[in-house]
Amino acid sequence: MSEPIDSIDKQDLPPLLIPEGVNYNCQGCGRCCTGWSVGLTEADYARVKDIDWGSVNPDLKDKDLFIHKEQEYKSGTSLYPHFTRPRPDGSCSFLVDSLCTIHSLMGEDAKPGTCQLFPYTFVETPSAIYTGVSLSSMASVRNLGRPLTEQREALEGYFERARSYVTTKAQEGGSGSVNMLVEKPYSTVLLSGQTSVSWDEFLHLDNKMLEIIKAAEQTNEDIIQTLLKVEEVILLSIAMAKSGVSLAEIASYQPTGTMGGAASGSANEGIMAMTYYLYLVYPSIRASYTDMWQLNNKERFGPKKIMRLLNQYGQYIGSGFSTIFLKNASVKNYGKVNLRKAIEYKIKPLPEITQEFFRRWLYLKIFSKVYFGPSFCEYSLLAGFNNLVTCFILTMIFAKGEAMLRKEDEVKLADLYEGMFRVDKESLMMNQLLPQVTVALAVAYSVPKMGRGILQTLAKG
């Protein structure tokens, strides 16, 4: 269990490292407050439960604002004892005119802990605390606001809040990470399968990956090339670690970024279609059933609920079959696309601004260490990286699908922002998926050179 932040001598904490070129300040669009049901600790709930919200804002009058899952929480099947209840359109009930009513009435400190900390991420390691932002905020996707490097004091404050929140959760008997801050240290890093290295050894590989991304900036290298180079040094490091060679030697290695050795095409396509369903199709169906997100056991067996459940599961199964087996995907408020055709669809080369967007995304993910280990479902480094490759591919398929529907030969940056926003949001929720789903995905992601076949096709297109 973590010590409360007050009792920690800050001198004992490793330095807080901040990514360069990453900007963020809330733009008040309210999109972060839509699409999920926010978990509340008992302390979060105690702050807001007795307020007569209807008298504060008529929009909240006679509304059932919370979902309670105390029993499931006690039995370990729910991460929180309470949740906010979203409206039918998926927006948080407390969101009125794009503003949080809790924040407006009681100040930032009264909001649920998760909302106070969103979208910042903190990963505590033996050598440093790595900060970053999740891209499931439109402001962070678009890089809006002041550079994080100019907001050190605020980030230190948010880190203290995050630690204190983890402590509160632990004291209440809860578990799980908060904004990627986890209690377990990263003393070792699982590269893949059974191959682990010490944190210090891993830092040689980490430096190399960041060096590759920085060098790509100088030459405006295509993002696919950069992804291939990073993958190359990861695979080489795994081989070196298996042979007992120090990863320090990776510093002098010059990756070529050449294609080849792709995992089987049909397996690749199957995994991509499955993740397209999970990250982009499934959430848009879930959004139509917000009242079903956090069912109370006693409600589960009412006839109306059963009808809705059957209807919902029918849609899940139908759309899952269509996406995974027929490759025909439909995303709410967007069109229906054939994934295979979208992957192969020919477009103009990505302009510099788009390459910059993807490089910033890759740099941020690699720098902030949110893609593997305790902060990401205990995934190995290889599985975590393959998940990143998948996120890139899904974002591209999403944007290419839109270009195809418009019969245009270039993707729009706005579609890439939208795709990444959606994909990153679901990626953030991976920690909350059923363990069976997370494990199945980890197995799929552990295949070396997993995304190459699709990257090859995307590069040709």
User: Minimum distance from CB of 100 to ligand SF4 (Å)?
Assistant: 3
- Helices 413-428, 352-368: inter-axial angle, 10-degree rounding: 20
> If DSSP codes are grouped into helix, strand and coil, which group holds residue 287?
helix
> Of 111 and 208, which has the nearer Cβ to ligand SF4?
111
Instruction: Print burial letters for 381-404: b (CB count within 10 Å at least 16), e (below 16).
Output: bbbbbbbbbbbbbbbbbbbbbbbb
DSSP string, 351-413: PHHHHHHHHHHHHHHHHHT-SSBTTTTTB-HHHHHHHHHHHHHHHHHHHHHHHHHHT-SS--H
> Of 19 and 112, which has the nearer Cβ to ligand SF4?
112
Residue 217 has which token pair?
């900036």
Residue 330 has which token pair?
């439909």
Q: Identify residues 47-86 at the interface with ligand SF4 (CB under 6 A).
A: 84
User: Minimum distance from CB of 116 to ligand SF4 (Å)?
Assistant: 8
User: Minimum distance from CB of 115 to ligand SF4 (Å)?
Assistant: 3
Q: Is the dihedral of CA 86, 434, 299, 168 positive or negative?
A: negative
User: Minimum distance from CB of 41 to ligand SF4 (Å)?
Assistant: 13
Quick check: 425 binds ligand SF4 (CB under 6 A)?
no
User: Minimum distance from CB of 35 to ligand SF4 (Å)?
Assistant: 10
User: Minimum distance from CB of 152 to ligand SF4 (Å)?
Assistant: 24
* CA–CA distance, 30 with 3 (Å, rounded to integer): 34
Q: Out of 18, 22, 95, 227, which residue is the one contacting ligand SF4 (CB under 6 A)?
A: 95
User: Minimum distance from CB of 161 to ligand SF4 (Å)?
Assistant: 14
> Of 82 and 327, which has the nearer Cβ to ligand SF4?
82
> If DSSP codes are grouped into helix, strand and coil, which group holds residue 174?
coil
Q: Identify residues 5-34 at the interface with ligand SF4 (CB under 6 A).
A: 33
User: Minimum distance from CB of 349 to ligand SF4 (Å)?
Assistant: 39
Q: Out of 92, 263, 411, 458, which residue is the one contacting ligand SF4 (CB under 6 A)?
A: 92
User: Minimum distance from CB of 435 to ligand SF4 (Å)?
Assistant: 26
Q: Out of 18, 38, 324, 362, which residue is the one contacting ligand SF4 (CB under 6 A)?
A: 38
Burial class, 157, CB count within 10 angstroms (exposed 0-12 / middle 13-18 / buried 19+): exposed
Burial class, 34, CB count within 10 angstroms (exposed 0-12 / middle 13-18 / buried 19+): middle
Q: How far is CA 299 from CA 80, 113, 294, 303, in A?
A: 18, 28, 10, 9
Q: Which helix (H) or strand (E) holds 271?
A: helix 265-276
- Helices 435-445, 265-276: inter-axial angle, 10-degree rounding: 150
Q: Out of 100, 129, 227, 342, which residue is the one contacting ligand SF4 (CB under 6 A)?
A: 100
> Which residues have C-beta within 8 Å of that of residue 286, sequence separation ≥ 6?
293
Region binding ligand SF4 by CB under 6 A among candidate stretches 89-97, 227-235, 353-361, 447-455: 89-97
> Of 102 and 148, which has the nearer Cβ to ligand SF4?
102
Which x/- pattern, by CB under 6 A, does the window 109-148 give for ligand SF4?
A: --xx--x---------------------------------
Region binding ligand SF4 by CB under 6 A among candidate stretches 21-29, 108-116, 315-323, 326-334: 108-116
Region binding ligand SF4 by CB under 6 A among candidate stretches 92-100, 341-349, 367-375, 390-398: 92-100
Beta strand pairing status for 129-133 and 16-17? parallel
Closest CA to 380 of 306, 432, 431, 443: 443
User: Minimum distance from CB of 38 to ligand SF4 (Å)?
Assistant: 5
Region binding ligand SF4 by CB under 6 A among candidate stretches 100-108, 126-134, 405-413, 438-446: 100-108
Preceding amide of 283 cis, omega within 30: no
**Count of residues that bind ligand SF4 according to CB under 6 A:** 12
* CA–CA distance, 223 with 210 (Å, rounded to integer): 14
Contact residues toward ligand SF4 (CB under 6 A) are 33, 38, 84, 92, 94-95, 100, 102-103, 111-112, 115
